[in-house]
């Protein structure tokens, strides 16, 4: 692989992949934290409302807690956040190994080809994992 092709790869594939995983990780983390905080607050308020005999508000907050817990479970926001962050950081690490000529890079004349192969392998593995999780979700939901 020549320098020009490698630079195009870095720009068009590698950097955009890191940006995508970083953005998805951040988004899933924000949703996860938001739902968790709302659930904690509502769960704490529910018994207080029951004690002061606010039946409808008690029912509403208890129902909201159930809905939030279900959304957390269904959306897998925590899992997605961790998975996307892991692949993002692993991709970043690969560039450091390449630049420092460590591991396989120290023994190769074509460091760029190894880099591309390893990055594509990481992305492919993550895509395969996502597909298996998605198909499992569909089988459980009956769609």
**Once rounded to an integer, what is the mean pLDDT over residues 110-135?**
84
Q: How confident is the model at residue 130 (pLDDT cuts 50, 70, 90)?
A: low
CA distances from 32 to 45, 65, 83, 94, 127 (A): 20, 14, 13, 28, 22
**What is the average pLDDT value for the chain, to the nearest integer?**
91
Give the Cα separation of 43 and 45 in Å (integer). Answer: 6
Confidence band, pLDDT 50/70/90 cuts, at residue 108: confident
In whole angstroms, give the CA distance from residue 25 to residue 33.
12
Alpha helices, DSSP H only, in the chain? 3-9, 15-51, 55-75, 77-100, 111-141
pLDDT in tens, 41-69: 999 999 999 999 999 999 999 999 999 99
């Amino acid at each position: 692989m020549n320098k020009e092709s490698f630079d195009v790869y870095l720009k068009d594939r590698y950097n955009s992949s890191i940006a995508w995983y970083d953005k998805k990780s951040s988004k899933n983390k924000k949703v996860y934290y938001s739902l968790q905080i709302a659930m904690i607050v509502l769960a704490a308020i529910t018994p207080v409302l029951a004690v002061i005999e606010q039946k409808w508000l008690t029912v509403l907050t208890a129902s909201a807690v159930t809905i939030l817990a279900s959304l957390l479970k269904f959306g897998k926001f925590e899992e997605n956040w961790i998975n996307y962050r892991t692949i993002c950081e692993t991709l970043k690490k690969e560039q450091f190994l390449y630049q420092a000529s460590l591991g396989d890079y120290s023994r190769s004349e074509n460091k760029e080809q190894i880099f591309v192969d390893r990055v594509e392998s990481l992305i492919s593995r993550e895509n395969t994992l996502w597909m298996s999780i998605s198909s499992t979700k569909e089988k459980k939901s009956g769609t």
